Amino acid sequence: MLEYEFMRTAFVAGGIAAVVAGAVGFFLVLRNSIFAGHALSHVGFAGAAGSVLIGLSPFWGLLALTLVAGVVIGALGERLRGRDVAVGIILSLALGLGVLFLYLYTRYATQAIALLFGNILGVGRDTLWDLLTLGILALTALAAISRPLLFATLEPELAEAKGVSLRLISVLFMAIVAVAVAETAQVVGILLVFALMVGPAAAALRLSSGLGRGIVLAVALALLETWLGIALAYATDWPTTSWIVFLSCAVYFLSLVRPAASPDCA
């Protein structure tokens, strides 16, 4: 399997995306911001399709629009809570615009469609370096804000009283989530970003009681599911995305068998 260059590239690209998705996804689940991450993935499709319309790379269009949307969502913060209908309408509008953009200009439509459902075996070397650079930036930024982010997540009132800007932390974190969404979309596609960002993190939160151990476990599960999914896809000729989603769901359901670990974020 590893004799083929595209398979080696797929394993490296999948590994990069899995590490970022696992680490960022852990905080996303911990902050109960899953719906916000879902919103970014849908908005990103409109960005990918829009960039196709003007002849640019779908990946950079996806990244640009998710970053903008992430900053807006982070700035709005609490105002979005309880407004699921409004947010849902916006997500539908984003998907509708994406479909319209593809209809108007179909030359690169296959690239945008690949972002919808994922095409890890089609990742090239140029994209691989882009993923690595963005992954390093995202993880470095996450490490830089991890302490105030955790403080703001667990004790928001106390954190604000201590001088932590909840809005700034929210904006920075959602910008990091946007980068993670763009990277994860390369592996499982925009429509199934949740499988890699939420599944491993949710299982890790149930199986581990410590913050550090939880993040490590989330990353390890994401890596395992991604690499095993690629290997199974090669062996069975089934879609890689399907295998990764199946494995992610299976691991989470198995984590429900045992009682959730008591939280310990000291």
Q: In the chain, pLDDT over 70 holds for what percent of residues?
A: 88
pLDDT at residue 111 in the model: 64
In a domain, 260, yes or no: no
Cβ-based neighbours of 54, under 8 Å, separated by 6 or more: none
- Exposed e or buried b for every residue in 16-40, given b needs 16+ CB within 10 A? bbbbbbbbbbbbbbbbebbebbbbb
- How would residue 87 be classed by pLDDT, with cut points 50, 70 and 90? low
Taking phi over 0 as left and psi of -120 to 50 as alpha, with beta for the rest, 55 belongs to left
Residue 122: which CATH number?
1.10.3470.10
In a domain, 95, yes or no: yes
Question: Residue 150 is part of which domain span?
Answer: 5-190
In a domain, 203, yes or no: no
Cβ-based neighbours of 145, under 8 Å, separated by 6 or more: 169, 172, 173, 176
- How would residue 79 be classed by pLDDT, with cut points 50, 70 and 90? low
- How would residue 29 be classed by pLDDT, with cut points 50, 70 and 90? very high
Please say if the pLDDT value at position 101 is more than 70.
Answer: yes
Distance from chain centroid for Cα 171: 16
Distance from chain centroid for Cα 12: 17
- How would residue 228 be classed by pLDDT, with cut points 50, 70 and 90? very high
DSSP H/E element including 156: helix 156-161
pLDDT at residue 190 in the model: 80
In a domain, 166, yes or no: yes
Mean pLDDT value across residues 233-250? 92
In a domain, 226, yes or no: no
Please say if the pLDDT value at position 112 is more than 70.
Answer: no
Nearest by Cα to 193 from 44, 84, 32, 85:
44
In a domain, 253, yes or no: no
pLDDT at residue 188 in the model: 84
In a domain, 235, yes or no: no
In a domain, 145, yes or no: yes
Number of separate domains in the chain: 1
Distances from the Cα of 77 to the Cα of 5, 103, 211, angstroms: 44, 34, 24
Q: What is the mean pLDDT of the chain?
A: 84
Q: What is the CA radius of gyration of the chain?
A: 18
d(CA 253, CA 177): 24
